[in-house]
Amino acid sequence: MANFMNDYSLDIIKGQHKDRYFVSFTDGYGEFQRLEINKDIYFALFELNKRDRNLTRLDERNLEHSELTDETLIKRSFKKPKGIEELILEKEMKKLFWQAIGELPDIQRRRLLLYYDYGFTLKEIAKIENCSIRAVKYSIDIAKRKLKEKIKNF
């Protein structure tokens, strides 16, 4: 029997009355050795070989056999990174958006930011500014329309 992992091999020679068990290996001097061993040692070495082989195969199944590059990692990722063009476009859009917000009248800008940036409700903003909820909503709607007009041209 050829050995999978170790530097020795196990053999059985079938006899008419009794089987003989051998281990073959090359010693430290480079000389080939073949020793007869008893049945218990043979089967202990056989089981050891089997466990080694199974562990090695298990490791091989779980090892990464493909080369990991940035491209392969990106293909596997859940969230794909943005390209340079997309990042630049996004940066320009943000710049234009904040510039358009800066051009809004103070009241509209303040109400819009309180509503969208800080998460205040229309009722809370109306209470802060001592006005009606309808006035706050109207102001925010006008601000949104102005922003859409500015960004639409981009």
| C-alpha span between 17 and 78 (Å, rounded) | 66
| C-alpha span between 109 and 143 (Å, rounded) | 7
Q: Taking the domains of the chain in order of start, what are their residue ranges?
A: 8-62, 84-152
HSE-up of 9 (CA within 13 Å, CB side)? 7
Tens-digit pLDDT profile for the chain (154 aa)?
Answer: 444 456 788 888 888 888 899 888 888 888 888 888 998 999 998 998 889 888 888 877 776 666 777 777 777 777 777 889 999 989 988 898 888 899 999 999 999 999 998 999 999 999 999 999 999 999 999 999 998 888 886 6
Q: Which CATH architecture best describes the domain 84-152?
A: Orthogonal Bundle (1.10)
| C-alpha span between 56 and 65 (Å, rounded) | 14
Instruction: State pTM to two decimals.
Output: 0.47
Tell me the per-residue pLDDT of 44-87, one tens digit each, with 9 for 90 and over: 989 988 898 888 888 777 766 667 777 777 777 777 778 899 99
Structure tokens at 76: 């596997």
Which residues are bridge partners to 119 per DSSP?
none
